Each structure stands twice: as structure tokens, then as C-alpha cells.
Amino acid sequence: MARIAGVDLPRNKRGVIGLTYIFGIGLSRSEEILEKAEVDIHTKVQDWSDDQLARIRNIISEEYKVEGELRSEVQMNIKGFILATLVITFRMDQIIAGVVINLLVLGHSCFAICGCR
């Protein structure tokens, strides 16, 4: 059984399809990897030699973020976007509250902005 990046690849599938079982590798990237490793894309995973498997492993580990490393990066990006959204929302609330307070201090009605009198 071929194991790359902690994933057991299906033995009875073509190499180009088998590599797509790894998170972060799609069809075009798997074709690119096999081309760099000089492995025919139509060869089944079970027919790969140890040398071919080692070349594929090296290419994936050196040039691509896959599996756990990629999942961690995606989660960090999501948390960053959520934090940025919260900060922007909080800041907008402060700005609106400041405008309303300024209008009230000046003795104006803020009905046009928030509907209060």
C-alpha cells in the first residue's frame, strides 16, 4: 500500500486519481506532480516502483502544503477573517454611537439617523 503524507492511496486506481485522495491535491496538481516525478499518469498506484514512490513523496513534501499543514493554515485564515470582521463591526458601532452622542450633545434630534427623538 502506497502511503504519502499520512494517506493510504488506493492501489487499484490510476496514479493521477490516487493522489487526489490527499487533501490539497486536485487533478491538475496530481498531473503536475507525476510529470515532475517522471511517472506515467496512467500507471496504477500498485504498479509504482519504490523509486517512483520516493520521488513523488519528495516532491509533495518539499513543494506543496498538504493534509495537516494545509488544514492548519486554512483554519488560521478563517479565524483571522472572523476576527477582522468583529473588529470592523465593533468600530462601526463606535462610530455610529459617537455620531448619535454628538448630535444629542449639540441639541439636535437624531431621528434621521436612528429614529429616536
Domains of the chain: 3-64 (1.10.8.50), 68-114 (no CATH)
Helices (H) and strands (E) in the chain, counts: 5, 2
Global pTM reads 0.66
Instruction: Provide the 10 A C-beta neighbour count for residue 103.
Output: 17
Q: What is the pLDDT of residue 42?
A: 92
How many whole angstroms separate alpha carbon 95 and alpha carbon 108? Answer: 17
Residues of the chain with pLDDT below 70 are: 1, 91, 93-117
Which ranges of 11-66 would DSSP assign to H, the alpha helix? 15-18, 27-36, 50-63
Q: What is the pLDDT of residue 43?
A: 92
Q: What is the pLDDT of residue 85?
A: 78
Q: What is the pLDDT of residue 102?
A: 62
Task: Give the type of residue at 102.
Answer: N
Q: What is the pLDDT of residue 27?
A: 94
